Amino acid sequence: MEKRIPVTVIDDVSKTDKIMKALKAYGIFTAEITFRTDCAAEAISLSRRLHPDMCIGAGTVINAETCEAAIGAGAQFIVSPGFSAAVAAVCRERGITYYPGCATPTEIMTALDAGFSVLKFFPADVYGGEKALSAFRSVFPQVRFIPTGGVNAYNEARYLSLPNVAAVGGTYLVADALKNYGGQV
């Protein structure tokens, strides 16, 4: 798993190739394309076709129907803002990695009971950020987190320095890639 996972909101499928090229020029070969727009499935499919060297996943997957659409489009991993037993079942059945969102001890225990130990921590800044993750480490040493929501270029290094953080995610990574490399691709 890459240490930085761009949360990628594509509102126009024609922007897909430029965004993926900018991410690669920035040194990032993973993208979580969110199901916040009508063209998410098409953007996933296009990304997989044009950039087979990238790991393309789907984010904001909140139900089994969206999960099936994402996997059908070629998503290689699924991310949810919360834990969904229905999404977990589809991912398990289809052999796709699932990163459910968890922000409280009860949610973390639910995910652990379901067999998941790499969890999205969202929204990180609202639920205590680095302090919360440090506290979780002592009671959930087997869990690794991917914090998103409030993670940015200024605090990513602090998050990544925590032993229970597998990676960080955020839209800032797409903005940075386009700012630094968008004109070159």
Q: What are the catalytic residues? A: 32, 120
Strand partners, 101: 120
For 17, 115, 140, 144, 184, the CA distances from 137, given in Å and listed in that order, are 39, 18, 5, 9, 41
Whole-angstrom distance, CA of residue 176 vs CA of residue 84: 31
First CA to last CA distance, the chain:
25
C-alpha of 58 from chain center: 7
Instruction: Tokens for 69, please give them.
Output: 């659409």
Three-state secondary-structure class, residue 69: helix
Q: Other CB atoms closer than 10 Å to residue 23's CB: what's the count?
A: 26
